[in-house]
Structure 1
């Protein structure tokens, strides 16, 4: 019998956020040279702060990787605050320096791709983990994984549609990512509960 520890699901949650952080930082690093020379120093300082926030998030995630569920629940609250702070800094950067729609679209595309990759990896990992359970105990898990895959397809369609439109406001693009991120969280939580019931 396999016992699936709940911290695994918290790691899935944190990795999705970290992948989006990496995508945002990568996008901004590629565009900082295009910022007007008179404000480039300020842009580079904000970018340095974003890198630090991402690295701190990664360090906390790594420290928690072997922690028990109670420790993860406590750490997740801090990581959620860190995530919101990171999003606020990105928003400040975009509003100050990344007003060109191309910059916004490029960042959205990278973050959407990171989010969708996290969906696929989570579904694949959970599907693989589900095979370790006896068949009579896998029904809920298989259903949760199937639902996660279906939700991922829907999220991908929504994000691709916005990406192709190309004229959406930054706030509309971020609202779409927030919506699909919340769907990912719900799917991850449903899978977590299914594994708990089957264990």
Structure 2
């Protein structure tokens, strides 16, 4: 990931984690209604930890978005802080699963909800990547068509001048060669732009 795109990628990554955590909390709260006794108490404690983590992650996410254009600290530092807090999310989640050892249906439902949230996040990322690729291909196609048209026009002009140059002196021939070299340079710059656009996708 390039340094320029790092804050944007971190924002996308953080949003995916928040969406996953929202789905997880919602499912745990829904499934906890059927629990009782010490299992319910542990589930409630896990939900409280998850909600505290959620609030902390939301604060980091809001800060990242607010500072994305002029970050005083690097996006890498923010992601490290987010990663550290995510460890608490995973720890709370594992504690919850441990507490639900005798409640297989509830545990399955919670894990399934989390997996579905992850799948949705991946689908969204894939859709964004496909949209970016389509936009880049369309832009590249337009630039290539324009470059080919310019090159064709220069070739036609060059062809028209060939007859004139046979009877003209070295000065005219140099002008034709210069025009062809300029057309080729425009073509090469356009091809480089297209390659650069595709490189951004990788």
Q: Smaller-chain TM-score range?
A: 0.5 to 0.7
Report the CA distance shift for 1:99/1:21 in structure 2 as closer, same or farther (over 3 A): farther
The structure showing larger relative contact order (alpha-carbon pairs under 8 Å, at least 6 residues apart) is 1
The 5 Å alignment of 1:85-164 reads 85-97=88-100, 99-130=102-133, 131=135, 134-135=139-140, 136=194, 137-142=196-201
Q: Is the 8 A contact 2:42 2:99 kept in 1?
A: no
Distance (whole Å) between structure 1 residues aligned to residue 9 and residue 19 of structure 2: 15
Distance (whole Å) between structure 2 residues aligned to residue 69 and residue 138 of structure 1: 29
Report the CA distance shift for 1:74/1:139 in structure 2 as closer, same or farther (over 3 A): same
Q: Which runs of 5+ in 1 are unaligned?
A: 143-193, 195-199
User: SS where residue 34 of structure 1 aligns?
Assistant: coil
2:84 — aligned with what?
81
- Deviation sequence 1:22-52 (CA, Å, 0-9, x none): 1211111011122223553343232112111
Does the alignment pair 1:41 with 2:100?
no
Distance (whole Å) between structure 2 residues aligned to residue 11 and residue 100 of structure 1: 36
* Structure exhibiting the larger radius of gyration computed from Cα positions: 2
- Deviation sequence 1:131-159 (CA, Å, 0-9, x none): 258421332344xxxxxxxxxxxxxxxxx
Q: Is the 8 A contact 1:6 1:69 kept in 2?
A: no
Q: Is the 8 A contact 2:23 2:113 kept in 1?
A: yes
Normalising by structure 2, we get a TM-score of 0.60
- Deviation sequence 1:163-194 (CA, Å, 0-9, x none): xxxxxxxxxxxxxxxxxxxxxxxxxxxxxxx3
1:29 — aligned with what?
29
Does the alignment pair 1:57 with 2:116?
no
User: SS where residue 74 of structure 2 aligns?
Assistant: helix
Q: Name the Cα RMSD after superposition.
A: 2.4
Q: Is the 8 A contact 2:31 2:110 kept in 1?
A: no
